[in-house]
Chains A and B, each alone.
Chain A
Amino acid sequence: MSAATGDAAVPPGSAPRPPRPSRPAQPAFGWLVRSRWWIAWNTITRGARWRRLTYAIVLGGLVVIGAAAAVMGGFATWFLRDFTARDLTPEQIALGIDARAATDVILATSLSGAMLLVVMVGFTVALASLYLARDLDMLLVSPVSRRAVFASKLLGGILPGFALVGILTVLPLIGHGIANDYGMAYWSALVVAMLLLPILPTAFGAVAVVLIVRRMPAHRLGEIVGLIVVAMTMAIVLLLGSANRLQETMNFREILDYLGRVRHPYSPAEWLTRFVAAAGRHDVRTALTWLLINVGVSIAALVPLYLVSDRLYQDGWIRMQSANLRKSIRRGILWWQRPERAADLGRPSGVLAWLSPPVVAVVRKDARLLPRDLTNSAQILSPLAFGVFFIVQQILYPLRIGGGDSGTAFTQPVLTMFAAFVASGVAAMVFSRVALTGLSVEGKHFWIIQSSPISPRQLVLAKFVVALLPYGVLSGALIVLFEGARLIRTAVDAQLSLTAALGLVDVPILLYAWFVSIVVGAGVVAVSLAIGTARPNLKWDSPHEMMTPDVGCLSIIFYGLYAVIALFALAVPGAISRFPTLEHVWLYWLAGLTIGLGTTAAVVGGSLWLAAHEVPHIDG
């Protein structure tokens, strides 16, 4: 017998399979979910000590953040109630009007925020887990019912994200309940509300994904997700912007009213709010009414989900499988990907001329693979959306220092360095992930690299360049865009001509800002690469499994610590360099550059050295 029968491991896209007749639902769903938990449990308990330590650190961090959230929720509630109670007249009190009702706005904002997050996460996660997972090929042809596959994939994708959103939502509400002296009714209602909360948005997202994929292959969908994210960002910017402006003129009462606008009568979050709030005040009839409404809505949302989960789901999947993969790479705007440049893979040239052929091969290989895989772009979009946010913000509500005179020359560098700060943050979020998964991305293909004569140092250097090069391009572009947006606003406000406006650009500071962001980027990328190399995950089926959450959290803790020190040290001399009254500016430069470049050199050198030492221990 040959290995040809063991086809389960053949990657997707090999061949479309005929649809199976649908079967009645079987206990398979429970089995699929349980097997998922086994995998998760085994990774934690059987993991190395290193891994358990990371979980402990991450857990500790979450506890601290959680406690802070709970305290803040409680304090806000207490403050609001106290404030309102002082306003109540004796007649109102006699009528039974309760100051606690004013604090419902905290419930409403928490629940609305959670729901918005679930909608945003739900759509992308549903897409990734329902259609882009690699083991679907095997699952959908196995005799497990399609509904079971659908449900387990959806849950597996949504649950981790929702767990986090849920915890962050519940904590301030715990503080809220304690501050209001609510009893058992509130606590049980809160639990019920949290269970109901994700159903509607998840169902909405999943049904939308299934329906859209039926019309077009999931590969295209990534672009649509991008548009949605950008549109949502614009909406949030406009909302926050108007809040910003109101803040200057409104008193506390009016801000409260403004926040109260979240409480739209048609918002599902509002229905949950009314239920929990009524339960808290022992208003049994209202509470029961709203409970019934919420449960009814959730059930109603599950019906389309159930309908869609069988035939339509499989149709979409088949459509995707039978999408023409024989596509040429001739078209496309990324010029380095064209077929006539295939030989570049084995030849150092251009910006990479100083590197050895194996390093160049890996760098150019990744530069082709990353943009061609849309599952990567889904993760890149949210940080980029933040960049868009900042650009729009700069045009509509520009940052200013010291009142209205935005053109003061000596404060400009401060804002430029701030732009570098934001640009570094956005670029770091995108490309630290590229570095973190630098080794894991090789996955089952790792044998190619592992059996070839590329040295660990060369491999690590290649992965470092792969992340840092586009980081530099992106952060540079963002700095220019941020500054450009601010300049446009300044020019319009002061009614300057184009040339006069361009004259305001402080080129040396702009270049220095870019330099700072690249230096910090080198450290961030190196730290991420070291962590990702120490704990690679080569056994993934679906790309979003590449990065385990503990590794993600750990890297943020480490590179965050470093980035704050280095950014601050490097940015301060740049920011204050044009202050007219400052003496001994060179001292600031000396100190800043020494600390910033020194820590960066140590961090980059140490991280890359560590990573190179880990490579031989990776078992492919």
Chain B
Amino acid sequence: MNTTNEAAPDGDWMIEATDLVKRYGTFEALNGMTLRVGRGEIFGFLGPNGAGKTTTIRILTGLLQPTSGRARIGGHDLATDPLAARAIMSFIPDTPYLYEKLTAREYIHFVAGLYKTPPDIAARRMEELLEVFELADRADDLIEGYSHGMRQKTVMIAALVHDPQVLFLDEPTVGLDPRSAKLMRDVYRQLAARGATIFLSTHILEIAERMCDRIGIVQNGKLIALGTMDELRRLAAQNTSLEDIFLELTGGAAFAEIARVLA
């Protein structure tokens, strides 16, 4: 397994998780998750359902306290200096629960206020992003009337307005139409090129393969593989596509089983 990284020099890790353990009763959702992501990197997080992806992300964003282990964002320890850590990051969850009775503009200004973004800068960025995501003419409607994709875009815009250095995305493209999904991929790449670190979990292997600098594969609360596409290919010698690698590493036999059950 490869846990070293050539993308970032030592000391410039934006995301550091050390030995994260999360227990629910006796069940270990995470047992010893360790990973580091450097500045400007796009990191893909793969794994079967229930592997612990959301749990890891929720711990790294400060939404969940780990049972043990340490997490640092941009050098700020989440346990001792959570506010500094949160100030430089954004989180886009898999199910975007939003205030139903706010409009998109109000919501985005609200988030900008939480992050102390100067109002004029926030307003300018917001209007630009609303245009880009084609949400501008609905932005004064209450969110309760929005479709799933429109909500996703609203969260996305709010997350970008304060110019985060670290971006966590849990299954970011669920519910987006192909055009918007493509748009969002372009936005991530742009952000990464400007030095932002992006940590995304996804089930769409194509996104991971095409976008991510490095990929980590989790199973049963542990990293079972980590590296660039090339490194992963070497790891699973005979396979070429990420799907094959994924299935081999996580036990693809289950799929034959599914076919048998459904038949």
Contact = CB atoms under 8 A, between A and B. Distances in A.
Interface of A: 1-4, 9-11, 13-14, 324-330, 339, 342-347, 356-358, 360-362, 364-365, 368-369, 372-373, 443-445, 447-455, 616, 619-620
A451 B102 contact: no
Nearest to A324: B145
The winner among A347, A358, A451 for most chain B CB atoms within 10 A is A451
Contacts of B100: 11, 13
Contacts of B97: 11, 443-445, 447
B32 interface: no
Contact of B113 (A339, A357, A443, A455): A357
Contacts of A324: 145
Nearest to B83: A453
A449 B113 CA distance: 11
A452 B111 contact: yes
B62 A619 contact: no
A82 B129 CA distance: 83
Contacts of A360: 113
Contacts of B111: 361, 448, 452
A362 B107 CA distance: 11
Contacts, number: 140
Interface string B72-112: 00000000001110110111011101111111011001111
A9 B63 CA distance: 19
Contacts of B133: none
B145 A326 contact: yes
Interface in B116-136: 116-117, 119, 122-123
A125 B251 CA distance: 52
A346 B102 CA distance: 14
Contact of A10 (B106, B148, B204): B148
B209 interface: no
Contact of B114 (A9, A344, A361, A447): A361
Nearest to B173: A2
Given A447-B97, A453-B83, 14 more contacts: A2-B174, A2-B203, A3-B171, A325-B144, A328-B140, A345-B106, A345-B113, A346-B112, A347-B113, A357-B116, A358-B114, A365-B106, A368-B101, A452-B111
A127 B145 CA distance: 22
Interface residues on B, range: 35 or more
B117 A346 contact: yes
B59 to A, nearest CB: 11
User: Secondary structure of the A side of the interface?
Assistant: helix
B106 A342 contact: yes
Contacts of A344: 109
A616 to B, nearest CB: 8
A344 to B, nearest CB: 8
B61 interface: yes
A450 B148 contact: no
A339 B141 CA distance: 9
Contacts of B82: 616
B252 interface: no
Nearest to B158: A448
A570 B84 CA distance: 43
Contacts of A327: 141-142, 145
B86 A451 contact: yes
Contacts of A445: 97-99
Interface in B40-84: 49, 61-65, 82-84
